[in-house]
Amino acid sequence: MAEVLPFIGTRYNSRLIENLSHVLAPPYDVITPESQRLYYYRHPNNVVRLIVGHDRVADDEYNNKYIRAANYLQTWKRDGILVEDNKKCLYVCEQEFSQPGLGTLRRRGLFALVKLENYKSGKIRGHEHTFARPKADRLQLLRATRCNLSPVFALCSDPEKKIDAVLDECMKAKVWETFVDEERVTYRLWVVHLKKFVNQIHQLMADKDLFIADGHHRYEAALAYRDEMREATGKRDGRQPYDHLMMFLSNFYDEGMVVLPTHRVLARELGAGVDLDEVMEDLSQYFNLKNISIDLANLDKAELIIRKELTKAGKERIAFGMILPKGRVVICALKKTAKLCKMIEEEMSQDMKSLDVTILHNYVIAQVWIGNPEIELDDEDVFYMRDIKDVLKLLEERKGCVGFVLNPIAIDQLRKIASKGEIMPHKSTFFYPKILTGLVMRDLTSKK
């Protein structure tokens, strides 16, 4: 059901850029102010200048980071830093990486053009709640640059691996680009324009629904831009550049599909008036609570202890770790007698209610910690962290009132949720590794 097409890619000119890792960056939503500065000064043509520009005091509607991004884009194209391929292509990419306990893994996929679909059609499904501010930010950037700078990462269900077999054939050709990024992930890119392979991919994807793994805000911004352009131009034939979006497509059943947890720290303000004794009493109704000791002077060891205890508890039942200031850690494991229907009254499937992150948000945070089951947290209320050490640091710096660390969602759970089209809490998943921005881009104004 997904319409997947080749496109004219815009890429860094490897004749001028000797090491691609110097000019690429992760997606905008994982770039911190510190890493933003790092990428800015790593190379004058780093893609961060396009996707997360610096704000300036004198900025106005005529001179701001979005306008500067558009100017950088045009200047780099004029100077030959960025070049367009001569033909419409599909871009096959392999990421080779190591993961503790799993050894060396490889994940494959391809950059392609996909026709935009409203979620109601069921052809493309999202799985996470989004926020207005980042959507508005991505929409402004798209309006200014008229370019898909970063791909939306989406998955299809191909248990027979027919698409993978086609990718394997493509990957027998000579690699066009290869490099190692800052996280020691090896990237290999093949540029494919042979009609045989393009047609095979188009046909094999024709009956597939897509599940957005990463890039919900970018996808919804593209939908909004499409609707704006349809209104402005009157062209609603589905064949215009704004009717399609560059995406990175991979198989749910790829052996290298790794999902990591995203931990949470609640903003300091959400701790006001919270009685910890009452919190513990309420939690003990449904959870077995285990206090563990950590030494904040040794964060590496503290992280190992927390992860070990959390993994152990999670093997038998749903579990999360609650981290309080001054190094107090409580491992909370759901009791076998706990009734999810009593804890979470909202209408959702049992699979959805059984997710650690659902129980955390809908019961622990909303009902126990805040005391309001109707509460809707925005992006300023929660810090999302990949590393447990960062959770500990944030609490030590008194920027948060409590941290919650999670086990990863099992890929089988995720497939079930995806098939139902249900919406999980924001940042419920962290697909690793991320797809770097700048490897392939797509200019909506291209005349080729």
CB–CB of 332/289 below 8 Å? Answer: yes
Give the whole-angstrom CA distance, residue 219 versus residue 9: 19
Confidence bin at 429 (pLDDT 50/70/90): confident
Collapsing DSSP to helix, strand or coil, 363 comes out as helix
* Helix and strand numbers, DSSP H then E, in the chain: 14, 21
CB–CB of 83/177 below 8 Å? Answer: no
pLDDT at 303 exceeding the cut of 80: yes
Q: Which residues of 46-68 are buried (b: 16+ CB within 10 A; e: fewer)?
A: bbbbbbbbeeeeeeeeeebbbbb
Which percentage of the chain shows pLDDT scores above 90?
Answer: 75
Query: What local confidence, expressed as pLDDT, does residue 130 receive?
Result: 85
Query: What local confidence, expressed as pLDDT, does residue 249 receive?
Result: 97
pTM score of the predicted model? 0.91
Query: What local confidence, expressed as pLDDT, does residue 419 receive?
Result: 77
Q: Tens digits of per-residue pLDDT, 44-100?
A: 999 999 999 999 999 998 999 999 999 999 999 999 999 999 999 999 999 999 988
Q: Is 207 exposed, middle or buried (0-12, 13-18, 19+ CB in 10 A)?
A: exposed
Query: What local confidence, expressed as pLDDT, does residue 212 receive?
Result: 93
Query: What local confidence, expressed as pLDDT, does residue 352 receive?
Result: 87
pLDDT at 374 exceeding the cut of 80: no
Which percentage of the chain shows pLDDT scores above 70?
Answer: 100
Confidence bin at 424 (pLDDT 50/70/90): confident
Confidence bin at 447 (pLDDT 50/70/90): confident
Amino acid at 17: I
Confidence bin at 425 (pLDDT 50/70/90): confident
Query: What local confidence, expressed as pLDDT, does residue 11 receive?
Result: 98
Confidence bin at 389 (pLDDT 50/70/90): very high
Query: What local confidence, expressed as pLDDT, does residue 155 receive?
Result: 94
Confidence bin at 349 (pLDDT 50/70/90): confident
pLDDT at 340 exceeding the cut of 90: no
Query: What local confidence, expressed as pLDDT, does residue 227 receive?
Result: 97
Confidence bin at 296 (pLDDT 50/70/90): confident
**C-alpha distances out from residue 300 to 8, 323, 387, 406, 433, Å:** 46, 15, 11, 17, 22
Query: What local confidence, expressed as pLDDT, does residue 100 receive?
Result: 83
Collapsing DSSP to helix, strand or coil, 80 comes out as coil
DSSP-derived pairing of the beta strands 287-293 and 258-260 = unpaired
Detail the DSSP E strand segments found in 53-205.
Answer: 82-84, 90-99, 103-115, 124-125, 147-148, 152-156, 177-180, 186-192
Structure tokens given for 74 = 């045009």
DSSP-derived pairing of the beta strands 124-125 and 430-432 = unpaired
Query: What local confidence, expressed as pLDDT, does residue 36 receive?
Result: 96
Mean pLDDT of the chain: 92
Query: What local confidence, expressed as pLDDT, does residue 131 receive?
Result: 85
Per-residue pLDDT, averaged over 388-403, amounts to: 92
The CA-based dihedral angle spanning residues 354, 357, 363, 366, taken in that order and rounded to the nearest 10 degrees: -160
Query: What local confidence, expressed as pLDDT, does residue 68 receive?
Result: 97
Give the whole-angstrom CA distance, residue 204 versus residue 194: 16
Per-residue pLDDT, averaged over 148-170, amounts to: 95
Query: What local confidence, expressed as pLDDT, does residue 413 receive?
Result: 84
pLDDT at 318 exceeding the cut of 80: yes
Query: What local confidence, expressed as pLDDT, does residue 423 receive?
Result: 82
**Between these two residues, 249 and 341, which has the higher pLDDT value?**
249
Per-residue pLDDT, averaged over 100-126, amounts to: 92
Give the whole-angstrom CA distance, residue 140 versus residue 215: 16
Q: Mark residue 353 as left, alpha or beta (left: phi above 0; alpha: psi -120 to 50; beta: remaining).
A: alpha
